[in-house]
Amino acid sequence: MNQPAKQWNKRISVLIAITTLVLAVCATLAAFKAASYGNRMVLAQSQAANQWSYYQAKSIKETAYQLQRDLLALTAGNQGLPDELVQEKLAEYDQNIARYQQEKQFIADQAGMLESECGQSQELSTSFSQSLMFLQVGILLSSLASINKVLYYWYAGLFSGIGGIWFFLHALYWSL
């Protein structure tokens, strides 16, 4: 028998099995978290795009009121409209323009918050995905160690798995 087979015993097999199990559980959790934050990112991006479309619609309405106001201001004198009526209508246009400017600011703030949420979700999804990559390599190497009965594969798998668990815990901490 060769050297690695002589050193192999039941205790090592159990440790490798436990290592593989722990890495698989962490990989499952990391996969769910990565997918969850990926979905959040897409949803926030879509909502932000909707908000910017809404902003654009409000901007178009504001511009229409500004054009009507300017047109009235330019033509009021030529048409002989009473000054009091013109001033009342100009004030109404100014009020609508101010309202649209306030609404646009509120919409822009909401869109900015959604864009920020999108960026944060993307970072967390990437971190959980990196964790998953290291955990999967650890599972692969641990499985290979179990099949080939070579401890070096298990050590490499343990090293990769610990890196994956660190990435997972780091991302989990920042997600709270």
Over residues 68-100, the pLDDT tens digits come to 998 988 887 677 777 888 889 899 999 999 999
User: What is the predicted pLDDT for the residue at 172?
Assistant: 95
Contacts of 108 by beta carbon, 8 Å cutoff, 6+ apart: 51, 55
User: What is the predicted pLDDT for the residue at 154?
Assistant: 95
pLDDT-derived band at 63 (thresholds 50, 70, 90) equals: very high
Give the whole-angstrom CA distance, residue 39 versus residue 174. 17
User: What is the predicted pLDDT for the residue at 4?
Assistant: 53
User: What is the predicted pLDDT for the residue at 163?
Assistant: 97
Give the whole-angstrom CA distance, residue 20 versus residue 172. 21
Compute the Cα dihedral for 163, 165, 169, 175 and give only its sign. Answer: positive
Give the whole-angstrom CA distance, residue 28 versus residue 32. 6
User: What is the predicted pLDDT for the residue at 1?
Assistant: 45
User: What is the predicted pLDDT for the residue at 8?
Assistant: 59
